[in-house]
Amino acid sequence: MADRACATLVSLVVMQTGFRSLPSVDRLTSDERLKGLESTYSRGVVLEAARQLLQESRRAIAEGEAAPSLDALVESVSSRVRLLAEPSLVSVINATGVILHTNLGRAPLSREAVAAMELVSQGYNNLELDLETGRRGSRQVHVSSLLCRLTGAEDAMVVNNNASGVLLALTALARRKEVIVSRGQAVEIGGGFRIPDVMRQSGAKLVEVGTTNCTYLADYEKAVSSRTAALLRVHSSNFRIVGFTQDVALQELVELGHRHGLLVLDDLGSGCLLDTSRFGLDPEPRLQDSIAAGADLALCSGDKLLGGPQAGIIVGRKHLIEKLRKHPLARAVRIDKTRLAGLAATLLHYVKEEAEQKIPVWQMIAAPLSDLDRRARGWSAGLDGAEVIGGKSVVGGGSLPGGTLPTRLLAIRGAARGKGANVVPRLAAALRAQRPPIVPRIEGNALLLDPRTVLPEEDGAVRKALRDVVRSVAGSLPGGTGS
């Protein structure tokens, strides 16, 4: 008991000594090295960083850690000030092999789309001005004719994203009425948002038919009532059911709906204008196919397989699009000038039949395996412990679930470095700390980087970061020497 009490007393003395060694906020911020920061950053930012750091240091000392030196505190405050004064949203290099990575912003934009967005942001523009008449116009004219040309639809409009497009359509066309959906299509669209929730907010009543794996045309027909406004097909773009399944073709739904005077709405999810089967992927429903099948409205995202900025695209019957444009909710979900410009530039790539050459998503999907192998070997040249192996890339972003493309990967295995220590998590963290950050993927005991999702102009940054990071991390381990 005496020994335990003595140890506790010693611990308290050490803790109090650590607390007393910490400078006050005023003393810390009066250090000449920090006062110099105030010429670039405000004193308030420096004070806030110092307060946060000293609070964290006190907690660390209370948990038994040693008190940091003044030099260490000054360096930490300097680093924090710079971070506080910089935007947290930054450009990253995606080496995960997931082409439409939701956490990394989904589709990267073409140079033309970026240039168009920058141009309309620099000054004024004709967003809602008819330059011919000098009168107020509609922002929709900048994309509606392009969408009609590409899909064969009578009219088109765009909103903030696909979920808001579905919400607008259901609110404007089916409020207080019933909308029939296959039970297997009452899906969650990501982030916890579900089709039934969106429908509930619109005021429409969801009527589910069929079962999770099998729905027949007769199921829809039996559910039609005097309160039915529409039949809704929702493409399962982020999951796949295999085995014993049955669903109803869109054309059959159209025939049934029009026979009963009902609208047929087709939510395509990811949105596509090209034939994905040409690239060894499963066929993805296209907007033009939906219109050709007779859907009254077809809806999709702009920032997935379409390869543009975030947007919700709605194409279909002219009188229905007009109802949507005039609905009060349309203003709440309208698209802004920058994304409108980026979307228009992206659509022009399809009109000019240059999407595969200009839009990064399609460049990545179409990338030859030989090019990926060459680039991966370029990254690995002279890099200690690295090898190039075969692997798979995925489309991701709620598109083509289960669809993969063969690729070549740069692999660094953890057991190969530092006397068997697994340095893979440390390597990944160090790559993410680079400027620009590089995001790899980890599988088992290996760090993997996929050139399919790295833009060719980023190869130099990847090579340099890999060498710096491997040398730094491996050299910090017992017996480690780096490359």
| Distance, CA of 368 to CA of 90 (rounded, Å) | 29
For the entire predicted model, the pTM comes to 0.83
- CA atoms 249, 255, 257, 262: torsion sign: positive
168 half-sphere exposure, CB direction, 13 A CA radius: 31
Residue 215 buriedness (CB in 10 A; 0-12 / 13-18 / 19+): buried
| Distance, CA of 125 to CA of 338 (rounded, Å) | 10
Q: Are 447 and 424 in contact (CB under 8 A)?
A: yes
Q: Are 385 and 301 in contact (CB under 8 A)?
A: no
Q: What is the DSSP string of 363-401?
A: HHHH--HHHHHHHHHHHHTT-TTEEEEEEEEEEETTEEE
What does DSSP assign to residue 453? G
* pLDDT one digit per residue (tens) for the chain, 483 residues: 555 555 555 465 556 777 788 888 888 888 888 877 777 777 888 888 888 888 888 888 887 778 888 888 888 888 888 777 778 889 999 999 999 999 999 999 999 999 999 999 999 999 999 999 999 999 999 999 999 999 999 999 999 999 899 999 999 999 999 999 998 777 665 555 567 777 778 888 988 888 777 888 888 899 899 999 999 998 875 555 665 667 789 999 999 999 999 999 999 988 899 999 999 998 899 999 999 999 999 999 999 999 999 999 999 999 999 999 999 999 999 999 999 999 999 999 999 999 999 999 999 999 999 999 999 999 999 888 899 999 999 998 666 666 789 999 999 987 544 444 578 998 999 999 898 999 999 998 899 999 999 999 999 999 999 999 888 776 544 444 444
Q: Which two tokens stand for residue 4?
A: 């335990």
